[in-house]
Structure 1
């Protein structure tokens, strides 16, 4: 009885139970698909709304093609006069660096009275070298001078006596000539001995290393007890007068736009303090590998200016007239920098440009624009060349 009832229920209305269950599963699957499709359409609508928001306009109502064109903010930049500034990296160095070494035969260092960071005057003693041997040699030579003087005095006395006797006929003219030559030789030996003593004293004086000019000591490479000589490396490096400079590296085009005497501002790395200087020399040659030259900027001494340190120079290069655009209007790709200008029939046209310096108001365009064009201000990255737009002008 129960088995028959189950069979009847399965074939009720002519539809088996398993087939009815499959229909229900297919119905629920179609519902999920419609939900997914709806989510995709909603996402597309959000993307379109974001596109028009970034383009500075609103979604266009459904209609003809012009009504569907995006509204894009444009600007007529015109031209303006800006102060030319060239920024260049470089290093700090002493303007006139003096390497100081041993000029004599050298010896053992007795004392070093100065250190790096000291100021020295011209002729000041930097290093004292042991001169005990030279002192004894000078003393011996001084004694030789006394011996030569004694010989010269004796020769002069003999000559004087001979001159008194020659009138009486006791001494011949030949003897007088011989005594005169002896006296002259003795006097010459005195002069030779005196010259040798002066040489010894000069050699001893050269054992003291002296400052060749007044300046600021940058390096000290010698210590007491060290043995130094004529072939030793420089014992000191001195910045003459404490004057510094910056060696700014510039491209050949930038170098050609500068002249000696222009004002520059130098900011050492690690500080925001600027130091004023002037370009005093421009490199007469260009490095064939880097295509760069050097502009030497003279600077006064300051503790923050340390030779060997990096710095950035801002060099005035005069004034120029150019178009200045906000950074949002200037795009770039593998072909270079470009902007979109509004062409005929309100189409977006690509225009290649050459950019210059970056100012507080934007990027200077030195080639490619006259300033009278309508330039897309924003959303240029979403446009394609030839695309129809609705320009909305904004004040420059």
Structure 2
């Protein structure tokens, strides 16, 4: 065999197979696919490297507790002067209600010149009672005075004449004594008649029902033509001076914080206007059923303050220096009120507290906090004792 011719023919076939009819080498398509495969392998290696790096970072983060701890907002309340208030409800009444009835013998009412809601002055006639009979009795008593006075004058004249004759011996000493006694008795009868007349005038004056003091007329329970007597009950009711009061019902513990002179703002039901008042009396008894007492708030007259109406009162209960927290920070359960404080190593610690005044700005903490602690502002109900957190301190106005 001729080796030269064999190699030449194989080489020729190989070369001819690598040459496309168009003149392009047949191996260029293979190289293209090799390059594409190399790029894909490089991309897969990059993705694998990225995943491995992230896995290592995740392992490190899992070993760090702070990276998984929840972030909570905390507040440092400090201590401030807080004006405490107590909310109470009650009914409005006349501070000094004066019932007025028949003080004389009574009779038929002939006129009632006043109406409810009017102001009356002391001594003003509220109702007049027929006095036709009593007037005649008064005239008779006045006439009796004149009769007695005439008898007294006659007795005095007889005594004077007897004294002139006794010196001449025409009248004895005994006659003079008798005439003197007659004169004295006549004078006494004048005084008796005058006293009887004045008594009748006083009785007649009591037939009129008059106001004992100036004030606002609250009730009128009599009409003309009605017959009244001492047993007729209350015919008129007057609020002395028009002064009102709120009978504020306050809890037993809160009542102990109040005293006379404390200011209060009263808002009647159906009105948005507030009326300033002052506690003038704290009743010494507690209702055993409701465990409430009554603080009596004095109020000046105002048309909107109607006796029997309902009202609410905001009473000042003093000023204290204490921390104050928003309502969201204070929790409670069967053991009482508590908060969560962020302590050492950013761990949540339960702290029992005693609450005090409740105001529009929050709840006063009278015991359990100094004011420098970091208190969980919200989401305390989702924390547990000893849980690690990431505290985020917020300003008080931001909470």
TM-score by length of 2: 0.77
Partner of 1:168: helix, strand, or coil?
coil
Stretch moving more, 150-159 or 301-310: 150-159
Query: 2:293 corresponds to which residue?
Result: 293
Query: 1:63 corresponds to which residue?
Result: 62
Give me the whole-angstrom Cα distance separating, in 2, the residues matched to 1:75 and 1:184: 101
Contact persistence 1:142–1:197 (CA under 8 A): yes
1:258 CA drift (Å): 3.5
Query: 2:335 corresponds to which residue?
Result: 335
Query: 1:254 corresponds to which residue?
Result: 254
Contact persistence 2:350–2:385 (CA under 8 A): yes
Give me the whole-angstrom Cα distance separating, in 2, the residues matched to 1:395 and 1:285: 45
Q: 1:197 to 1:76 in 2, by over 3 A?
A: same
Is 2:176 aligned against 1:176?
yes
Is 2:253 aligned against 1:222?
no
Q: How many residues align?
A: 337
Partner of 1:201: helix, strand, or coil?
helix
**Poorly superposed stretches of 4+, deviation over 6 Å:** none
Stretch moving more, 297-306 or 335-344: 335-344
Partner of 1:247: helix, strand, or coil?
strand
Query: 1:130 corresponds to which residue?
Result: 130
Give me the whole-angstrom Cα distance separating, in 2, the residues matched to 1:149 and 1:340: 100
Query: 2:306 corresponds to which residue?
Result: 306
1:111 CA drift (Å): 0.9
Give me the whole-angstrom Cα distance separating, in 1, the residues matched to 2:117 and 2:301: 12
Is 2:350 aligned against 1:357?
no
Query: 2:206 corresponds to which residue?
Result: 206
Structure 2 gaps of 5+ residues are: 1-58
Query: 1:46 corresponds to which residue?
Result: none
Query: 2:369 corresponds to which residue?
Result: 369
Contact persistence 1:77–1:371 (CA under 8 A): yes
1:217 CA drift (Å): 0.8
1:113 CA drift (Å): 0.7
1:91 CA drift (Å): 2.2
Contact persistence 1:325–1:365 (CA under 8 A): yes
Query: 2:197 corresponds to which residue?
Result: 197
Structure 1 gaps of 5+ residues are: 1-59
1:286 CA drift (Å): 4.3
Partner of 2:199: helix, strand, or coil?
helix
Larger radius of gyration: 2
Give me the whole-angstrom Cα distance separating, in 2, the residues matched to 1:80 and 1:188: 83
Contact persistence 1:61–1:68 (CA under 8 A): no
Partner of 1:182: helix, strand, or coil?
helix
What's the C-alpha RMSD, in Å, of the aligned pairs? Answer: 2.4
Stretch moving more, 236-245 or 356-365: 356-365
| Superposition map of 1:71-82 within 5 A | 71-82=71-82
Query: 1:150 corresponds to which residue?
Result: 150
Contact persistence 2:84–2:359 (CA under 8 A): no
Give me the whole-angstrom Cα distance separating, in 2, the residues matched to 1:90 and 1:155: 73
Contact persistence 1:216–1:239 (CA under 8 A): yes
Query: 2:12 corresponds to which residue?
Result: none
Partner of 1:147: helix, strand, or coil?
helix
Query: 2:8 corresponds to which residue?
Result: none
Contact persistence 2:85–2:358 (CA under 8 A): no
- Residue deviations 1:308-350, cap 9 Å, x none? 2222222223322222222222222333322222244433332
Give me the whole-angstrom Cα distance separating, in 1, the residues matched to 2:241 and 2:317: 29
Partner of 1:305: helix, strand, or coil?
coil
Q: 1:354 to 1:61 in 2, by over 3 A?
A: farther
